[in-house]
Amino acid sequence: MSSHRVSRVQLLLVMLLLVVLQFYVRPRLWDARISPDFLLIALMLFAMRSRPGLAALAGFAVGLIADTLTPARFGAGALAHTLVAYLASWGRAVFFADNMLVNAGFVAAGLWLRDLIVLVTSGTDHRQIITELTIYSPLQALTTAGLALIVLIMFRSMFSVRLDA
């Protein structure tokens, strides 16, 4: 087995760990509206190392999971995650994506954009949209970006791999 393949397996293990954290640890944390979104971290880190089409597919899957497990409007999460993942993968070519801080910034921006799309497509009240996008989404984006930075620091060698190479 080549080292490249080993790195891919390790990366997938990290993704799996993030999924477990999302469903086993996140419910035990503080307020769900500002606790970090482990699933979005996994999606963004995956999308930034993949081709846009694969990233869109992963985003669709993650969004489908979110739609299935949350009582929001079905399809809104899938749409939002698909767009965010595709844009993250496409934006990798524009920005200096190997920098960890840029990665964390991508995660924060992706979370805020995801919330915006979900709220708009779900037909949420304007006042609630403003509250969410100005208070809770930035706070959650901060916690999620911080945790993404920790993950990148801890698993730096694994995230150096390019999945589309």
Q: Is 116 in the site for another protein (CB under 8 A)?
A: no
Q: Is 8 in the site for another protein (CB under 8 A)?
A: no
- For residues 17-42, one letter each, b for 16 or more C-beta atoms within 10 angstroms of the residue's C-beta and e for the rest, the string is ebeebbeeeeeeeeeeebbbbbbbbb
Q: Is 131 in the site for another protein (CB under 8 A)?
A: no
User: In angstroms, rounded to a whole number, what is the distance separating the alpha carbons of residues 28 and 128?
Assistant: 25
Comparing CA positions, the residue from 118, 111, 127, 16 lying closest to residue 67 is 118
Which residues ranging from 72 to 101 are in contact with another protein (CB under 8 A)? 73-76, 78-79, 82-83, 86
Give the nearer residue to another protein in terms of CB position, either 85 or 104: 85
Which residues contribute to the site for another protein (CB under 8 A)?
19-20, 23-28, 51-54, 56-57, 59-60, 63-65, 67-69, 73-76, 78-79, 82-83, 86, 121
